[in-house]
Amino acid sequence: MPTANLFQPLPDARHGERFDDLLRRPGCRVERIVSHGQSSPPDFWYDQDWDEWVLLLSGSAVLRLEPQADAIRLAPGDHLLIPRGMRHRVEATATEEPTVWLAVHCGEAVAP
C-alpha cells in the first residue's frame, strides 16, 4: 500500500479552507483540514448528528462550544471531542502560518 504524508503536499488555504478526506468507512471519516486565517461566518454554528474528535497538528485555533461561555484556545497537540448535537464554531485560526487539523467523524452516515 502506498504511504502518504499529512504535511506534504500541504494545500494553500490562504483563499479558503481545504478539506481532504484521508479515510472513509461506514460510520467513520478521517479528514485533514487546512486553515489559514479562516473562521466561521458570523452567527454560524456547526450542529452535527455525529461525534467529531479534532487534533490540532500545527498553527493555532480558537473554538467556541455551546453552552460554554469561554472560548477554547488550541495549540499543536491539543485535541478534544465534540459530541453530536453540540453547537460549535471556529472563532479564529492562525494567520501567520497554516493551521492543520485532523478530524475524525464517528457515527456519520458515510458511504464507503
Domains and CATH numbers, the chain: 18-108 (2.60.120.10)
User: Is 0.95 topped by the overall pTM?
Assistant: no
- Residue by residue, pLDDT tens for the chain (112 residues) are 789 999 999 999 999 999 999 999 999 999 999 999 999 999 999 999 999 999 999 999 999 999 888 999 999 999 999 999 999 999 999 999 999 999 999 998 766 5
Cα angle: 16, vertex 57, 34; to 5 degrees? 10
- The label of the residue with cell 500541504 reads 10
Which 3 state secondary structure label does DSSP give 18?
A: strand
Cell output for 106: 464517528
